[in-house]
Every structure is written in structure tokens, then in C-alpha cells.
């Protein structure tokens, strides 16, 4: 809604600010919600907002933002601009409050999740932090006997494919009926693991080299990570990069 409103009367803001929900963006929009007042923002004001948001390279970013805000852009009549500015000021206040509450909830999740017996094992997995790890634990459940095998956990997670065979015909398809909250968390973990785990990156790259699409390769990686998580929870062991990917590395080398 904020982006839509700005597009209608203040396109310079969309060009100046990358993240509309960032603290510095919200602070500056609250202070100057219309093109005229935004063009009057000084470098000191912009720099102060960037500093409070802990941005890097503040001088260069402040100069770039000021230049965009003071450039020529299409605009609306004054009365229309004033109406949109009032809406934007209200939306900014809502987003500021939401951000504060999200931070408060995140603190609660981190405090309580850390007390769980499986927290250390889950947090050792690549791509899982306190918030995402808590989501994965909540959706899988903490009963270690609930899943008879890694395959059963993968099937529940819907990361494993469905194979159908009839005579000489065999088809493999993704599972479209699934727990949305769990699969979203696992796919996010897989994406984050590409940077956190060399083994995960190598595994993903091999799938892509075989012609697998981006989403399918990421789902296969998520499926592999679910199997690793199951093994760690079953044995009580923490994630180990060499152990987790030794089979695939040896196979690739061969």
C-alpha cells in the first residue's frame, strides 16, 4: 500500500529508497512525506537517519538520496499531493509500530526457543537461525518417534517427490499438497544454506548442471537438508559439514 501510494504522487521516493520498510526510509518519509518537503532535506538530516539505521558508506548514500529527491519528477496537483501525503504518514506510523512488534516477538522466540532440548542441534544446521529454526521445530514437532525414517520426515515436509509407475511408464512429480509454513521455512533454509555450506552449494550446482530448474534444484537441496536434520535429531549429534556431504563428495569425485 505504501509503494502504491508513493508511485501515484511521489515516484522519487521509490527511486531514492531501496527498502520501504527500513528504519531510515520510514524516518525520512515521516519527516518529509511529499516531494516539496523531501527536496528540502539536508545532508545532515539524511545522514543522521542513515546512521541511526546503522547503514554503511553514509556520506555517499546520503548524497545519492538527496540528488534523487531534488531531481525533476512528474507530480500531482497540490491538493492531491497533500491527501496522499497524509495517507503515507499514516502508513509509515503503522509500519514503524509493526516493526517494533516484530522485533519484540523475535526476542521472545529467541529467548524461549533456546531452552528447547533440540535447539542446539537445529541451530547447528546450515541456513537455520533462531526464528527459522523455531518455525521448523514447531511444524515438525519435537516427538523423536513421530517419523520412522528420514524418508517419512521428507514425505511429511513435501520436499520429496512423488513417483508413480504403471507398466513401463514412470512419472516423478512434486508434492503440491503440503504444510505451507513448513515448506516455506525449508526452502528459505535451503536458499540461505547456499552461502553457509560449501557442501550444499556443490550439491545445488550439480543439480543445476544436470538441467534442473532453479526451484526444483532448491527443493532437492531442501530435501537433502531435511534428511540431514533427521539424522542429527535421531543421534543427538550436531551438524558436521564433512559428515553431511561426504557421500555426495565421494560420489562426485568418483
- Domain residue spans of the chain: 2-110, 119-253
The whole-number pLDDT of residue 154 equals: 93
C-alpha cell at 117: 532440548
- The answer to whether 144 and 233 have CB atoms below 8 angstroms apart is yes
| Average confidence (pLDDT) over 211-219 | 93
Encode burial over 8-33: b for 16+ CB neighbours within 10 A, e otherwise: ebbebbeebbeebebbbbbbbbbebb
Q: Would you give the distance in Å from CA 42 to the centre of its chain?
A: 33
For residue 150, is it left (φ>0), alpha (ψ between -120 and 50) or beta? Answer: alpha
Q: Is residue 249 scored above 60 in pLDDT?
A: no
Q: Cα(208)–Cα(213) distance, rounded to whole angstroms?
A: 7
C-alpha cell at 12: 522519487
Q: How far is CA 246 from CA 34, 203, 211, 239, in A?
A: 58, 11, 23, 13
The whole-number pLDDT of residue 17 equals: 94
Q: Cα(222)–Cα(215) distance, rounded to whole angstroms?
A: 10
Average pLDDT, the chain: 91
pTM, entire model: 0.69
| Average confidence (pLDDT) over 127-150 | 93
Amino acid at each position: 500500500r505504501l509503494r502504491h501510494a508513493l508511485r501515484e504522487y511521489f515516484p522519487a521516493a521509490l527511486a531514492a529508497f531501496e527498502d520501504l520498510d527500513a528504519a531510515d526510509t520510514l524516518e525520512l518519509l515521516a519527516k518529509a512525506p511529499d516531494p516539496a518537503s523531501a527536496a528540502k532535506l539536508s545532508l545532515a538530516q539524511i545522514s543522521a537517519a542513515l546512521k541511526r539505521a546503522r547503514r554503511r558508506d553514509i556520506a555517499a548514500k546520503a548524497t545519492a538520496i538527496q540528488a534523487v529527491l531534488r531531481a525533476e519528477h512528474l507530480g500531482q496537483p497540490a491538493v492531491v499531493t497533500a491527501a496522499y501525503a497524509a495517507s503515507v504518514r499514516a502508513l509509515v506510523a503503522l509500519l514503524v509500530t509493526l516493526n517494533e512488534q516484530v522485533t519484540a516477538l523475535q526476542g521472545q522466540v529467541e529467548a524461549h526457543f533456546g531452552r528447547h532440548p533440540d535447539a542446539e542441534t537445529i541451530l547447528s544446521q546450515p541456513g537455520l537461525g533462531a526464528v527459522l529454526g523455531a518455525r521448523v521445530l514447531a511444524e515438525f514437532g519435537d516427538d523423536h518417534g513421530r517419523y520412522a525414517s528420514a524418508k517419512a520426515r521428507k514425505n511429511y515436509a513435501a520436499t520429496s517427490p512423488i513417483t508413480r509407475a504403471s507398466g513401463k511408464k514412470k512419472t516423478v512429480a512434486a508434492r503440491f499438497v503440503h504444510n505451507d509454513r513448513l515448506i516455506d521455512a525449508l526452502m528459505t533454509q535451503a536458499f540461505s544454506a547456499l552461502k553457509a555450506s560449501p557442501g550444499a552449494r556443490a550439491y545445488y550446482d550439480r543439480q543445476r548442471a544436470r538441467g534442473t530448474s532453479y526451484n526444483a534444484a532448491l527443493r532437492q537441496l531442501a530435501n537433502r537438508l531435511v534428511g540431514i536434520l533427521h539424522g542429527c535429531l535421531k543421534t543427538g549429534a550436531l551438524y558436521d559439514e564433512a559428515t553431511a556431504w561426504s557421500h555426495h563428495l565421494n560420489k562426485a569425485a568418483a
